Amino acid sequence: MTDNEPRDFIRKIIYDDLESGKHTGIVTRFPPEPNGYLHIGHVMAICLDFGVAAETGGKTFLRLDDTNPGKESPEFVQAIKDDVHWLGFDWGDRLTHASDYFDRLHESAIRLIEMGVAYVDSLSAEEIREHRGTLTEPGKNSPFRDRSVEENLDLFSRMYAGEFADGEHVLRAKIDMASPNMNMRDPAIYRIRHIPHQNAGDKWCIYPMYDFAHGLSDAYEGITHSLCTLEFEDHRPLYDWFLDQLKPEHRPRQIEFSRLNLAYTITSKRKLKMLVDEGIVSGWDDPRMPTISGMRRRGYPPEAMREFVKRAGVTKKDKLIEMGALENCVRETLGDSAPRRMAVLRPLKVVLTNYPEDQVELMEAMNHPGNPDFGTRELPFSRELWIEQDDFMEEAPRKFFRLKPGGEVRLRFGYIIRCDEVIKNDAGEVVELRCSYDPDTRSGTGTSDRKVKGTIHWVSCQHAVDASVRLYDRLFNDANPNMADDFHSVLNESSLEVVPAKLEPSLAAGDEAVQFERLGYFRVDAQDSTPAAPVFNRIVTLRDSWAKLEKQALGN
């Protein structure tokens, strides 16, 4: 961030705290729960937490808030680390876990019992829900709320020792069952779970609740500014209550900002897990998923993700951002960085009847028309070529400037050709075009000034690389699938189409993002592609075909 850029409200607070001397250094944290893969919504938090610390010479912790062993795994932990690194951020030696503080949290829970502000409740989970009340009715005190300190200490000690079954008891804070804030109605602090922990092993059979561990972990790490999304605003009074009772040496300040909500996506980990478990997608890293790993596999550049977050801005107002805004950032980044290549996705054979059968010419092709520094490459040209089926129309309208019977078109970096004959199969389908070429019209030779209106791309049949291309589209048809009664009902059944392709020889190797000329941006699939059977994923189309529909759906 440069000095003349406007500061969002969080940066203004942080810079004011530095200038006033309230803080001499900034410490932030990115605290994901390792119960799933990170998604587009987390990109905002990652860029904010790491970005504002880097701008001010501060530091950032990557903390895994691993308080729920039943849903967490080392796979998710590793995926989180990979995603943060891929986005361009590093935590140095500040990788921590909430589980690193389990001993301190346990001691803090005992202190709360000794202070008379925590008690062991023996109600069942259903009974606790019944006692909790509603948004319009106060809750009721548990009959176990007035247990003595000694009895609570004894029961909590036995919970820790593993004497009780899951759900038999729970440790709760004694706050206010009539509070208008539901989070303050004697929330649970510890519950019994006889489950090994992905980081702590089998030492524990009681685990702290997220709301208890989260704010205290911030305090233990000396976090100056705890940046959270708006759904944690109602939890802040509870975090503050724990800090008021326990008075740790350091007290973080929590500031909330709006989530990054992207149209045509869902970011609920529960729903994303359903997509994976039900086989609707191939995994958490399916290129249609809004997960960081999915977008990475699809070919999104990390710098485009960071730019998208920057343009979205940090605000207090929830909003649904157009998918096109993200895709435009991807297009702009790849437009400058991706070399151009020839690929034919739905091949139609062209035979140049007047071209020598055994002749092969090498055509000089620019790697990037807007940047000569990318250099050139040689494309083999021969008698038999592949072109796109869509580049031929037997009964073409007047303004169709591609190939048609008797019509002419220029082959990019090649010659002008004319369609002389159409070959069909028994079903009446066009399977081959017999054409003639004008040898005086080779691109770059200047031997003919003849011009035609259409230019199409091609690949030499003799030299083509066979490949599969996955054409990805939006996973949902509805701009806000979260509003649907059942998100399954708004799934886009055309979100993936696999087509055979013929590629120029240079695409047989390399994994960088490229533009297939006239078709879009593509990248080799890191998992499924092999040298013998390449697989390319479409990153994004050249133009936004959803723009008008999306603006209407969002009322823009």
CA 105 vs CA 207, 209, 249, 377: distances in Å:
9, 10, 14, 63
Give the separation between CA 459 and CA 343, rounded to whole angstroms: 7
What does the angle CA 360 – CA 441 – CA 503 come to, to the nearest 5 degrees? 45
C-alpha closest to that of 541 among 505, 502, 515: 515
Give the separation between CA 188 and CA 174, rounded to whole angstroms: 9
* Catalytic entry in 81, 111, 259, 434: 259
> Could you tell me which residues are beta bridge partners of residue 305?
none
C-alpha closest to that of 295 among 309, 305, 281, 282: 305
Give the separation between CA 500 and CA 466, rounded to whole angstroms: 7
* Catalytic entry in 269, 288, 296, 377: 269
DSSP 109: H
Based on the residue annotation, tell me whether 22 is a catalytic residue of this protein: no
How many residues in total does the chain contain? 556
Based on the residue annotation, tell me whether 145 is a catalytic residue of this protein: no
Based on the residue annotation, tell me whether 55 is a catalytic residue of this protein: no
> Could you tell me which residues are beta bridge partners of residue 245?
none
Which amino acid, one-letter code, is at 285?
D
State the pairing for strand pair 514-516/520-524: antiparallel
Query: What residues have CB less than 8 Å from 313, skipping those under 6 apart?
Result: 8
* Catalytic entry in 11, 29, 33, 412: 33
Tokens at residue 77, please? 């932990």
Catalytic residues: 33, 259, 269
